[in-house]
Amino acid sequence: MGPPSAGASGVFVTGTGTEVGKTAVAAAIAHTLRAGGQRVAVFKPAVTGLDDEGEPDHALLRRAAGSRQSDEEIAPYRYGPPMSPHLAAELAGEEIAPKRLLSAARAAAAGAEALVCEGVGGLLVPLAPNYLVRDFAVEVGLPLVVAAPPGLGTINHTLLTVEAARAAGLDVSAVVLTPWPRQPSAIEESNRETIAALAGIEVEALPQLDLAAPSSWPPLAPPPPQPAPSRPG
């Protein structure tokens, strides 16, 4: 059997860590595809932190995509405490099963023309003791988009993430800096250019969105995957 994306196109949105804008970026892409007339499914292998206030990721993604998937169909593993999914699962007395994740992602893709999948934390976060978000991304087989903050510290985190993705054979379509300020500083402008040059990648900027009003969002359609550049020496 092919990857779950077989038949459906889409993206896998990862990030340089937690709280870096993955959900905002995934939602903006899902909404852009939906506005272009595609039937969009969303997926997130595990959601943690349901005990915290605010709209959970699977609900925001569903709203952005105009999807009618159930919570269970979008995110088969959901936990209250805000912690790494492997630990949240352990405290709930279970282990996240890679096979169940993959069949759920496949089922989501089968019902749509495009699949937008959001990771959990960064690429090397464990879903289960021996199964990282990166392993799941490889099995899903969609090109990656990397969400990252625009400010100080982002060059290193973003280049590490792109390198970790490429080391596993993943294609990275773009980096998206978010939220991109209305008046970017010299540091932010330079970060954008530096990441583009050093990673050999398209770097997009997503402005501050009113998350309650998807119809007000600017389109965000990542370019097609780029092969990793060959580096001299």
Tokens describing residue 173:
């379509």
Burial class (CB in 10 A: 0-12, 13-18, 19+), 213: exposed
Specify the stretch interacting with ligand ADP by CB under 6 A; choose among 75-83, 96-104, 153-161, 201-209.
Answer: 201-209
Specify the stretch interacting with ligand ADP by CB under 6 A; choose among 1-9, 152-160, 164-172, 207-215.
Answer: 207-215
| Cβ atoms < 10 Å from Cβ of 97 | 16
Among 18, 38, 84, 103, binds ligand ADP (CB under 6 A): 18
In sequence order, what DSSP letters do the residues of 120-165 get, joined into one string? SSSTT-EEETTEEHHHHHHHH-PPEEEEE-SSTTHHHHHHHHHHHH
Question: For Mg ion, which residue has the nearest CB?
Answer: 23
Check residue 22 for interaction with ligand ADP (CB under 6 A): yes
Show contacts with ligand ADP in window 95-154 (CB under 6 A). Answer: 147
| Annotation says 44 is catalytic | yes
Q: CB-based contacts of 53: which residues, under 8 Å, 6+ apart?
A: none
Tokens describing residue 124:
């090397």
Check residue 23 for interaction with ligand ADP (CB under 6 A): yes
Tokens describing residue 117:
């999948």
CB of residue 151 vs ligand ADP: minimum separation in angstroms?
12
CB of residue 22 vs Mg ion: minimum separation in angstroms?
5
Specify the stretch interacting with Mg ion by CB under 5 A; choose among 57-65, 107-115, 186-194, 203-211.
Answer: 57-65
Q: What are phi and psi of 191, to 5 degrees?
A: -55, -45
Q: Which residues of the shown chain bind Mg ion in the complex (CB under 5 A)?
A: 22-23, 57
Residues that bind ligand ADP (CB under 6 A): 15, 18-24, 147, 178-179, 206, 208-209, 211
Catalytically active residues, by annotation: 44
